Amino acid sequence: MKKLFYPLGMVTLLGFAALFLYFETEEIIQFDSQMAQLFGDNKVIVLFHYLGETKFIIFISLLLIAFLWFRSNNYRGMLFVVFTVGLGNVMNQSLKKWVERERPDVPQQLETFSFPSGHAMVGILYLFTIAYFLTEHQSNKFVRLLIWIATVFITFLVGLSRVAENRHYASDVLAGWMIGYTWFVLVAMWYEYRSRAFKKHTL
């Protein structure tokens, strides 16, 4: 994993903390309103919410676990998926219940809490995890770059779909991306540390 990713994880943690503390301020409320006007009811972006649905994420995660198992018996990689997606989802639900922020006031709104967005948080976790393993042994830098650019773009649209649907405030989505990325970095650091330790032990 690029060392640049590590300090960025600290930045996103601080960004999440700031949103956690100040999401009820006038500035954040105004930001949410502007984003809702900009992306609200965008029919194209709305379609990407399917990529953040729980059943779809579980299915893709199980496929990734099976792939890591059959390809190379990568048990640490399998734990990587469990930690990022599984524990990440538990973390998201716990944060929502802790903060108890109500969702936007629209007809037929969901009854669960809003902060941080699950689509944004778990979306970035499972998509970045897939990209991580697709590029782990990829020697072509251009291919690695393309994979990560595509991943970031899709992650962006999955999160924005919740604003387009009026299911979340933009600050919920931003918070989900930030804490999701931070958790992804922590798990990746653990994975890489254990991989290095295993290689040293087998030398």
Q: What residues act catalytically? A: 119, 168
Q: Which residue has the tokens 């994880």?
A: 9
Give dist(CA 103, CA 171) in Å, integer: 11
Nearest to 51 by CA among 155, 181, 130, 167: 155
Nearest to 119 by CA among 155, 150, 145: 155
* Structure token pair of residue 86: 């599984």
Give dist(CA 77, CA 82) in Å, integer: 9
Q: Please say whether the beta carbons of 19 and 178 come within 8 A.
A: yes
Nearest to 127 by CA among 163, 165, 88: 88
149 alpha carbon, distance to own chain's centre:
15
Residues contacting 113, CB < 8 A, separation 6+: 96, 97, 99, 100, 101, 102, 103
